[in-house]
Amino acid sequence: MNEIEFNRHRRLRRSSGLRAMVRESVLRKEDLIYPIFVVEGENVKNEVPSMPGVHQVSLDYLKEEMDKLEARGILSVIVFGVPAHKDDCGTEAYTENGIVQRAIRQIKEENPSLTVIADTCLCQYTDHGHCGVIDNGIILNDSSLELLTKTAVSQAKAGADVIAPSNMMDGFTAAIRKGLDEAGFSDIPVMSYAVKYASAFYGPFRDAAHSSPSFGDRKTYQMDPPNRLEALREAKSDVSEGADFLIVKPALSYLDIVREVKNETGLPVVAYNVSGEYAMIKAAAQNGWIDEKEVVMEKLTSMKRAGADLIVTYFALDAAKWIVEDH
């Protein structure tokens, strides 16, 4: 064997201390964004059947949930609303006392150190479940922008720190940026869902948000999964239209896109670790087929390695606890 020449990479893996010294990607509590679903009513805390451990909560449970985040060192939350009433133009999305607007005001009053991100879309609020205005079965792009802008402005008025439009209408970032600026919110950043694929991994989320479309699907506005170059065009459009962050959704099957968006733009990139990714790990862990902690931490770290600066994940509370334990 003496005549064989090779490199000894294992020298740097001999101990946990050495491995920590040369670790290239590190997951931090501050990287995690926790999604929460708020519903009308009182004393409501409904576990989502397809997402064990994730709940819809009424506003009287909100402080309890936000206190958990702060106790774990998580800095930010993204708020999704589940209204009691829906109509064809999603009125509850932009009314002053909508469920999201009230949740934002409450969080900013009770837990002011948290950064509150408002998901800005119409699908949870429309009776047809699509992210825009419908005419004869067609989702109208430009008419939808007006309602999305009203939604964003109402959320900013309620106190949202960041607006996160997720609808994938063309021009949504430009329209919302213009609307926020004209309403006096030029200092409110836009976290654009710039690259959002029409993915089968969203199923459990639609259970949680009650947002399944009543007809058709979202493939005319969300992206086709095989496309890579289109993702870069979408991201660059949002950069030029005024986005401050860029979301890639889903995360795990699109890590190549996370890396390319990171390399091609100068903006912070957010990976959305979606509901289907969460549900699969929970189901496998509950059956004893995988080690949940090890798989979750490996998965979230892979998103950091791919270039994500921030991660939206339903595992945020557990991951923050595990980060502390491992240190």
Q: What is the pLDDT of residues 185-199, one digit of tens each?
A: 999 999 999 999 999
For residue 10, tell me if it sits in a domain: no
123 is in an annotated binding site: yes
Structural domains counted in the chain: 1
Which of helix, strand or coil describes residue 74? coil
For residue 81, tell me if it sits in a domain: yes
Contact 81, 38 (CB under 8 A): yes
How are beta strands 45-47 and 115-120 bridged, if at all? unpaired
192 is in an annotated binding site: no
Contact 270, 191 (CB under 8 A): yes
Nearest Cα to Cα of residue 82 among 63, 107, 59: 59
13 is in an annotated binding site: no
For residue 8, tell me if it sits in a domain: no
Q: Which residues contact 136 (CB under 8 A, 6 or more apart)?
A: none
For residue 4, tell me if it sits in a domain: no
Residues with catalytic annotation?
196, 249
Residue 195 φ then ψ, to 5°: -125, 95
Cis peptide before 250 (omega within 30 of 0): yes
Nearest Cα to Cα of residue 279 among 204, 196, 167: 204
For residue 3, tell me if it sits in a domain: no
8 is in an annotated binding site: no
HSE at residue 41, side-chain half, CA atoms within 13 A, is 13
Full domain range(s) for residue 105: 26-326
CB atoms within 10 A of CB 23: 9
- Residue 291 is predicted with a pLDDT of 98
- Residue 211 is predicted with a pLDDT of 66
Residue 243 φ then ψ, to 5°: -65, 150
CATH code for the domain in which residue 166 is found: 3.20.20.70
For residue 14, tell me if it sits in a domain: no
Quick: pLDDT tens for 242-276.
999 999 999 999 999 999 999 999 899 999 999 99
For residue 21, tell me if it sits in a domain: no
Cα separation, 58 vs 6, whole angstroms: 61
121 is in an annotated binding site: yes
What are the helix (H) ranges across the chain? Answer: 16-21, 62-72, 99-110, 141-158, 172-182, 203-209, 229-241, 255-264, 275-286, 292-306, 316-326
Cα separation, 225 vs 327, whole angstroms: 38
206 is in an annotated binding site: yes
144 is in an annotated binding site: no
For residue 248, tell me if it sits in a domain: yes
Contact 266, 295 (CB under 8 A): no
Q: Which residues contact 8 (CB under 8 A, 6 or more apart)?
A: none
Report, as ranges of residue numbers, the positions in the chain whose pLDDT lies below 70: 1-2, 209-214, 216-217
Name the strand (E) or helix (H) holding 80. strand 76-82
* pTM: predicted TM-score of the whole model, two decimal places: 0.94
